[in-house]
């Protein structure tokens, strides 16, 4: 019996050393130490031993049981540690791998165009000033020589708010009044960039939000010649020194006389094409001499001071410059479009 016990112990230990999985370990435990396992089997035979042999066998069986339990625990622990080491090795970070590059950001084509405009006007002494996007009817229309019900208001489809008389500015022109009231009677040379909003059906040529750059110069001897020189110079710096320019008579309530500035078509050079609708000319901005009423509304005496003003859309300018055929591209946030202007 003792021989059998020792043979079983030897076999159990040998088998245990070969087991590599938790499942195999459990099966081993059942086979040797379980309720129907080898050790229990042997203990059942104790009855066949003589009274003198029994205590020694019992003691030895207990030692074997403890030894096997201990061996089992040790093996289980070893397996666990091996698994952990394995996992660590597998999950090791290779610090020598090349990093993932962070894609650098870039400027939006509207921002780039705005900055080009700032640079050109800065060189001619114009400062950049900002004005509110949420405006009142008074600044957006009335002080610009458009009393309530003035028909010229139809030129701007307006987003009104639930506050009576408060609206989203339809153009940057109300900024003219704000700058005048702040600086009168000093001379002024500013550009006012910013977003404008219009209650428009969005199409290839119309957005409900877009940028404008307003310009305003006020002094004691400014004439239409100053307006023409300044804006012709701007157009040639923006679109190329070879550009022809023409001032075409127009109407705005806040200027008198008013004009629109055209350049010869950048695409066909004036021969006529799809972009210039066969006219040979592209309209790039509106302008004029500041109306005496607007002068007065800004605190300047029109008998002593004159001024010129202009307003342009940088998106429109970028469209003409880069041949973009749809204004909706600008704020659709499609990188395939935006990345072309890096
Ligand atoms: N505010 C005009 C518009 O949105 C543009 C404009 C025209 C501005 C003539 C001016 C100007 O300052 O003199 O259509």
pLDDT digits (tens, 9 = 90+) for 173-186: 999 999 999 999 99
Residues 143 and 275 in one domain: yes
| pLDDT beyond 90 at 56 | no
Q: Which residue among 310, 314, 315, 317 is best mutated to probe the pocket of ligand 1, counting the most ligand atoms within 8 A of its Cβ?
A: 310
| Tokens representing residue 91 in the block | 């999950």
Domain-embedded: residue 287: yes
Residues 113 and 54 in one domain: no
* pLDDT tens-digit readout, 76-107: 898 899 889 999 989 988 889 998 999 889 99
Q: Is 311 in the pocket of ligand 1 (CB under 6 A)?
A: yes
Residues 85 and 119 in one domain: no
| Tokens representing residue 142 in the block | 């009335």
Contacts of 71 (CB under 8 A, 6+ apart): 12, 13, 16
Domain-embedded: residue 218: yes
Spell 135-162 as b/e; 16+ CB within 10 A means b: bbbebbbbbbbbeeeeeebeebebbeee
| Mean per-residue pLDDT of the chain | 94
| pLDDT beyond 90 at 114 | yes
Q: Higher pLDDT residue, 293 or 54? A: 293
| pLDDT beyond 90 at 40 | no
Domain boundary among 46, 61, 91: 91
Domain-embedded: residue 98: no
Domain boundary among 42, 59, 91: 91
Residues 180 and 230 in one domain: yes
Question: d(Cα 39, Cα 2) in Å, to the nearest integer?
Answer: 12
Atom of ligand 1 nearest to the CA of 212: 4
Residues 34 and 150 in one domain: no
| pLDDT beyond 90 at 9 | no
Residues 28 and 174 in one domain: no
Domain-embedded: residue 216: yes
Q: Is 260 in the pocket of ligand 1 (CB under 6 A)?
A: no
pTM: 0.74
- Nearest residue CA, atom 12 of ligand 1? 310
Residues 24 and 134 in one domain: no
Domain-embedded: residue 16: yes
The pLDDT assigned to 253 comes to 98
Atom of ligand 1 nearest to the CA of 311: 8
Domain-embedded: residue 288: yes
Residues 132 and 60 in one domain: no
| pLDDT beyond 90 at 213 | yes
Give the residue numbers spanning the domain of 117.
Answer: 109-341
Residues 132 and 278 in one domain: yes
Phi, psi of 208 (to 5 degrees): -85, -15
The pLDDT assigned to 5 comes to 85
Count of structural domains, the chain = 2
Residues 54 and 173 in one domain: no
Over range 331-339, report the average pLDDT: 95
**How far does the centroid of ligand 1 lie from the alpha carbon of residue 216, in Å?**
10
**How far does the centroid of ligand 1 lie from the alpha carbon of residue 327, in Å?**
19
Question: Residue 87: exposed, middle, or buried by beta-carbon count in 10 A (0-12, 13-18, 19+)?
Answer: exposed
Domain-embedded: residue 72: yes
**How far does the centroid of ligand 1 lie from the alpha carbon of residue 340, in Å?**
30
127-128/188-197 β-pairing:
parallel
Residues 8 and 156 in one domain: no
Residues 269 and 319 in one domain: yes
| pLDDT beyond 90 at 167 | yes
**Strand-by-strand arrangement of the 255-264 sheet:** 127-128, 188-197, 209-219, 306-312, 281-290, 255-264, 245-250
**How far does the centroid of ligand 1 lie from the alpha carbon of residue 155, in Å?**
11
Q: Is 288 in the pocket of ligand 1 (CB under 6 A)?
A: yes
Question: d(Cα 309, Cα 130) in Å, to the nearest integer?
Answer: 16
Domain-embedded: residue 104: no
Per DSSP, 157 falls in state -
CATH number, domain containing residue 158: 3.30.930.10
The pLDDT assigned to 94 comes to 87
Contact 161, 120 (CB under 8 A): no
């Amino acid at each position: 019996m003792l021989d059998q016990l020792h043979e079983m112990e030897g076999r159990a230990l040998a088998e245990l050393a070969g087991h590599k999985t938790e499942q195999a370990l459990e099966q081993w435990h059942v086979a040797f130490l379980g309720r129907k396992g080898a050790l229990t089997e042997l203990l059942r035979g104790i009855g066949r031993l003589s009274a003198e042999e029994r205590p020694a066998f019992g003691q030895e069986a207990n030692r074997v049981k403890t030894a096997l339990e201990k061996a089992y625990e040790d093996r289980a622990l070893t397996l666990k540690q091996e698994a952990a080491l394995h996992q660590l090795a597998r999950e090791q970070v290779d610090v020598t791998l090349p990093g993932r590059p962070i894609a650098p950001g870039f400027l939006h084509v509207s921002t780039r165009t705005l900055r080009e405009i700032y640079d050109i006007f800065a060189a001619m002494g114009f400062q950049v000033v900002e004005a509110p996007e949420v405006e009142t009817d008074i600044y957006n229309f009335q002080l610009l020589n458009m009393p309530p019900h003035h028909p010229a208001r139809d030129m701007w489809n307006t987003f009104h708010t639930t506050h009576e008389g408060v609206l989203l500015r339809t153009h940057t022109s109300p900024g003219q009044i704000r700058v005048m009231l702040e600086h009168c009677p000093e001379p002024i040379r500013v550009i006012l960039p910013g977003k404008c909003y219009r209650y428009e059906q969005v199409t290839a040529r119309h957005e409900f939000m877009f940028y404008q750059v307003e310009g305003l110069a006020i002094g004691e001897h400014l004439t239409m010649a100053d307006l023409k020189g300044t804006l012709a110079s701007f157009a040639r710096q923006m679109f190329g020194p070879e550009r022809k320019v023409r001032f075409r008579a127009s109407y705005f309530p806040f200027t008198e006389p008013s004009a629109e500035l055209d350049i010869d078509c950048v695409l066909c050079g004036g021969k006529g094409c799809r972009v210039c609708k066969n006219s040979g000319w592209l309209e790039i901005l509106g302008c004029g001499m500041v109306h005496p009423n607007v002068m007065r509304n800004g605190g300047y005496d029109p008998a002593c001071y004159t001024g010129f003003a202009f307003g342009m859309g940088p998106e429109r300018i970028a469209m003409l410059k880069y041949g973009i055929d749809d204004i909706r591209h600008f704020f659709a946030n499609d990188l395939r479009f935006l990345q072309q202007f890096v």
